[in-house]
Amino acid sequence: MKITKVILSALFAIIAMASAYSQTKFTEQKAGHLYYVSVPDYMTKSVTLNDAATMQYINSAKNAYLIVIDDSKEELEMKGVKFASLKDFHDDNIKLLKAEENSPVESKPTEFVVNGNKFYQSELNVNFKEADNLEVKITYLITYVETKGYYYQILCWSLSSEYKNLVADFKKIAASIKD
């Protein structure tokens, strides 16, 4: 009987730890012209990732990174830039990422709608060569979002070896955007 109680206690402890570990808490953060994105509590605000980003979060221990770049449709049109579709916005921006010398490979993009906003999402795998010929593999979840007045680029990335542990959080971050 004692052994059964010990085994059951150990089993409950393992289940409790596993459920606590797998439940990431997200907090809604505001940025830019006033848009909101839910960010995991394990990430902290940063200003060092990208000069054009209006939102940046990082967790270097988990190798988890997030930036959001927003573009006003009105400002783009004043500069003579108008996109016929969200796919065109994607195509225009992804070519800059693909122009790198690191042979990036993009997955087939998926399109979906959340809360009336259009999404265009893909993964980009990039191999970087370090100075000592060490190769670093990075995987990005790149999401382009179109709202009534804005286009957003949401880039979440990690080491490719750790990406599978973060991709669910990255997708939740991207789908949470609202303005």
Q: State the residue range of the domain holding 67.
A: 26-175
Give the tens place of pLDDT for each residue, 85-137.
999 999 998 887 777 667 788 999 999 999 999 999 999 999 887 777 788 89
**What's the whole-model pTM score?**
0.82
Which CATH number characterizes residue 83's domain?
Answer: 3.40.1000.10
pLDDT, mean of residues 39-58 = 95
Residue 49, strand partner residues: none
pLDDT, mean of residues 59-77 = 95
Contact 94, 154 (CB under 8 A): no
The verdict on residue 3 lying in a domain is no
Contact 68, 62 (CB under 8 A): no
The verdict on residue 154 lying in a domain is yes
pLDDT, mean of residues 72-80 = 94
Short-list 133, 143, 8, CA closest to 68: 143
At 17, the amino acid letter reads M
The verdict on residue 13 lying in a domain is no
| Residue 134 structure tokens | 């060490």
pLDDT, mean of residues 60-89 = 94
How many domains in the chain? 1
The verdict on residue 5 lying in a domain is no
